[in-house]
Amino acid sequence: MHRIINPPNFVSNYSLYGKEPVTDKKENILLAALQLFSNEGYNVVPTSKIAKQAGVSEGLIFKHFDNKKGLLDAIMEDAELRVNQVFAPVLFETDPIKTISKIIETPFNIREEEYNYWRLQFKLKWETEYYNPQKMKPIIDKLQWAFSELGYKDPQNEAELLSQIVESVSVNILREGLKSQLKFKSFLQQKYKV
Amino acid sequence: MHRIINPPNFVSNYSLYGKEPVTDKKENILLAALQLFSNEGYNVVPTSKIAKQAGVSEGLIFKHFDNKKGLLDAIMEDAELRVNQVFAPVLFETDPIKTISKIIETPFNIREEEYNYWRLQFKLKWETEYYNPQKMKPIIDKLQWAFSELGYKDPQNEAELLSQIVESVSVNILREGLKSQLKFKSFLQQKYKV
DNA sequence: AAAAATAAAGTAAGTACTCACTAAAATACA
DNA sequence: TGTATTTTAGTGAGTACTTACTTTATTTTT
DSSP string spanning A54-121? Answer: HTS-HHHHHHHHSSHHHHHHHHHHHHHHHHHHHHHHHHH--SHHHHHHHHHHGGGG--GGGHHHHHHH
A154 touching B (Cβ < 8 Å): yes
pLDDT at B18: 37
Percent of chain B at pLDDT above 90?
65
Instruction: Give the number of domains in chain A.
Output: 1
Would residue A4 count as lying in a domain?
no
A28: containing domain: 11-191
Would residue B62 count as lying in a domain?
yes
Percent of chain B at pLDDT above 70?
88
pLDDT at A15: 36
pLDDT at A133: 81
Distance CA A14, CA B121 (A): 40
pLDDT at residue B17 above 70?
no
Would residue A142 count as lying in a domain?
yes
B154 touching A (Cβ < 8 Å): yes
Tens digit of each residue's pLDDT, chain A (194 residues): 222 222 233 333 333 333 455 668 899 999 999 999 999 999 999 999 999 999 999 999 999 999 999 999 999 999 999 999 999 999 999 999 999 999 999 999 999 999 999 999 999 888 767 788 889 999 999 999 999 999 999 999 999 999 999 999 999 999 999 999 999 999 999 999 99
Q: Which residue is nearest to nucleotide D22 (CA to C1')?
A: B59
Distance CA A126, CA B122 (A): 8
Would residue A5 count as lying in a domain?
no
pLDDT at B20: 46
Looking at residue A86, which CATH number applies to its domain?
1.10.357.10
Would residue B3 count as lying in a domain?
no
Q: Which nucleotides of D are covered by protein (CB under 7 A)?
A: 8-14, 18-24, 28-29
Would residue A6 count as lying in a domain?
no
